[in-house]
Amino acid sequence: MPDDATPALTGAALIKDEVSRLPDAPGVYRMFGDGGEALYVGKARSLKKRVAQYAQGRFHTNRIALMVDLTRSMEFTSTRTETDALLLEINLIKQLKPRFNVLLRDDKSFPEIVIRREHPAAQLRKHRGAHSIKGDYFGPFASAWAVNRTLNTLQKAFLLRSCSDSVYESRTRPCMLHQIRRCAAPCVGLVSLEDYGGLVDQAEAFLRGKSRAVMATMSEEMQAAADDLEFERAARLRDRIRALASVAQETQVNPETVSEADVFALHAEGGQACVQVFFFRAGQNWGNRAYFPRVDRSDDDAEIMAAFLGQFYEDRPIPRLMLVSHVPAEAELLCEAFCMKAGRKVLIARPTRGEKRGLVEHALTNAREALGRRMAEGSAQSRLLTAVAETFALEAPPERIEVYDNSHIMGTNAVGGMIVAGPEGFQKNQYRKFNIKSTELTPGDDYGMMREVLRRRFARLAKEEEAGENPTRPDLVLLDGGAGQLTAAQEIMADLGVEDVPLVGVAKGPDRDAGLERFFLPGKPPFMLEPRSPVLYYLQRLRDEAHRFAIGTHRAKRSAEMRRNPLDEIDGVGPARKKALLHAFGSARGVSRAAVEDLAKVDGVSEPLAQRIHDYFRKA
């Protein structure tokens, strides 16, 4: 490169240079900092006019001035309309998570209820994710607790099966759910498929908001049964009606004038914000959830609400009505984008009177209280992390703490677990599980398992750093174990060249007594904390959460291992043949005892395959 080479443009000069080539048309712009860090994503009716504002050097806030100063490159995408630009902006914000945008940090999917129609006897079940199953979907529910409560009610009221198809096909007598009056037992013919279909239709009607009509029909049936002296049937109908009536009693807010709506209430204070979301479907409150988007003190309420709504519905079903505490910025454009995505009319409204206003005010009270609790917890959390830094001689309070633990039974189904905590508490979307893969480990070798887990975690970190990426580094690593685990961890970190991450071993006290833990640091003698130290309680919580996560992961793996069917291991036996074999012989054990001639009689099983199945169960 020549000595007089022109230095690369940055900040406002870079933006001014880009403006000269931009069209006077809708589109999306992205600002990037050093190392490709996403700083900001924005949309514009005119890219040329909007981006030119950043080049003028006159900013309303120091935050925008800093963003411009950090800009090292920009990217642009032209769109057909401003609505298209808005939808693309929302998608890119979710993908890139830019530093200076309002950001919805919790993007977990909501549970739903599905009446699965792929089987003659429809199945009632909980569902998350894409609508890949043929059936009727109802939701969203704010939490697993809300959907489980509704499922429990539906089972009591409509007696629909929840078992899998393989269990259904293999039943020879009613299961426990029938005994406790939670299932009509179509699997063994205690109810005809026609009558069972009637129960399914009633459940669907109830979930679509026709609860009064369903209860009226059931009341008429109960009275008719009583008149015919069928008192047992009348009693069963009475219990089903009570189950449906309990929904209204258990739910605090059930509106009469709102059938389907999501309610959003925003409360912002001290540079933090809470958006409380309530879900109303079929005239019932299906729960609520509090969100704490990343915001800046300079963001006004309308901007926060607009950014939140756009990101919230980026990958979720859109209701017909949204009731809001603050009218979002560019509400008409946002509404147009939602209509385009949903393929029907969508209304965003800030009610000023009546029941709808009461729903919003109720949500706003919840938002205000949730943010107050979070701010109080955040202050206490900040003090705790400062004390943790002092205890372990860290340079600054840790932003990311990783805690590792292993779980197994006599070396079987061994797993490692990593949990993550920081200023905002446990970061569950960062948790990781590690299936122990090494075949050279002695069963029960905890040190070897910890070596494998740490090698896989930090080898990836080292590889990403070498490639010029910016992976998330922990500020502190806690290991469940004493000097031995710490030594094993040090060896791995030295091999990988990652020796600047602080390591601490946490050994349980004698008889595993809480409060008598000893802490091990490299090159220092072990020590204990005061029994009532807040730092000790906090570290115990971290260790217990890591243990809970590792144990839960191990149990799930062990349960899956126990449920695995031997037929899955036989080449040529797919889902259809497996179902036919289980239907013919009742279970895998029945298949294992069958003769070749009997196996070959099963639909879809040829003689060579029958011989292969027979040989599989008799191999040495």
Q: Give one DSSP letter per residue of 392-456, joined into a string.
A: TT-SS--S-EEEEEEEEETTEEEEEEEEEEETTEE-GGG-EEEE---SSSPTT-HHHHHHHHHHH
**Tokens standing for residue 186:** 């179509």
The secondary element (H helix, E strand) that includes residue 518 is strand 518-520
Q: How far is CA 253 from the centre of its chain?
A: 25
CATH class belonging to 261-373? alpha beta
What distance in Å separates the CA atoms of residue 101 and residue 105, rounded to the nearest whole number? 11
Please tell me the predicted confidence (pLDDT) of residue 350: 95
Domain assignments of the chain as residue spans, ordered by start = 11-96, 112-250, 261-373, 401-561, 566-616
Q: Give residues with Cβ within 8 angstroms of 105, minimum separation 6.
A: 291, 292, 293, 294
Measured in degrees and rounded to the nearest 5, phi and psi for residue 505 equal -95, 135
**Tokens standing for residue 46:** 């005119």
* HSE-up of residue 501 (Cα within 13 Å, Cβ side): 29
**Tokens standing for residue 416:** 């490692």
Please tell me the predicted confidence (pLDDT) of residue 70: 92
What distance in Å separates the CA atoms of residue 381 and residue 334, rounded to the nearest whole number? 37
What distance in Å separates the CA atoms of residue 279 and residue 383, rounded to the nearest whole number? 36
What distance in Å separates the CA atoms of residue 264 and residue 326, rounded to the nearest whole number? 9
Contact status, residue 49 vs residue 107, Cβ threshold 8 Å: no
* CATH 1.10.150.20 holds for 566-616: yes
Please tell me the predicted confidence (pLDDT) of residue 439: 67
Contact status, residue 249 vs residue 269, Cβ threshold 8 Å: no
Please tell me the predicted confidence (pLDDT) of residue 251: 47
Q: Give residues with Cβ within 8 angstroms of 598, minimum separation 6.
A: none
Asked whether this chain's domains 11-96 and 566-616 adopt the same fold, the reply is no
Given phi > 0 = left and psi -120 to 50 = alpha, else beta, which region is 587? beta
Given phi > 0 = left and psi -120 to 50 = alpha, else beta, which region is 48? alpha
Q: Give residues with Cβ within 8 angstroms of 421, minimum separation 6.
A: 400, 401, 403, 427, 542, 545
Contact status, residue 170 vs residue 582, Cβ threshold 8 Å: yes
SS3 of residue 460 by DSSP? helix
What distance in Å separates the CA atoms of residue 384 and residue 401, rounded to the nearest whole number? 13
* HSE-up of residue 160 (Cα within 13 Å, Cβ side): 30
What distance in Å separates the CA atoms of residue 392 and residue 520, rounded to the nearest whole number? 10
CA distances from 516 to 509, 526, 539 (A): 4, 12, 12
What distance in Å separates the CA atoms of residue 70 and residue 74, rounded to the nearest whole number? 11
CA distances from 155 to 82, 90, 173, 183, 239 (A): 48, 39, 19, 7, 11
What distance in Å separates the CA atoms of residue 357 and residue 352, rounded to the nearest whole number? 6
pLDDT along the chain (620 residues), means of 10: 61 89 93 90 93 81 88 93 92 90 79 88 87 84 80 83 87 87 89 90 81 76 81 78 63 65 91 91 82 89 94 88 94 93 92 91 92 80 90 92 83 80 87 81 77 90 80 90 88 87 85 72 89 86 89 76 71 84 79 88 89 80
**What is the fold, at CATH topology level, of the domain defined by 11-96?**
GIY-YIG endonuclease (3.40.1440)
pTM score over 0.75: no
In angstroms, how far apart are the furthest CA atoms of the chain? 104
Q: Give residues with Cβ within 8 angstroms of 67, minimum separation 6.
A: 31, 39, 40, 99, 100
Q: What homologous superfamily does CATH list for 401-561?
A: UvrC, RNAse H endonuclease domain (3.30.420.340)
Q: Give residues with Cβ within 8 angstroms of 156, minimum separation 6.
A: 181, 182, 239, 240, 243
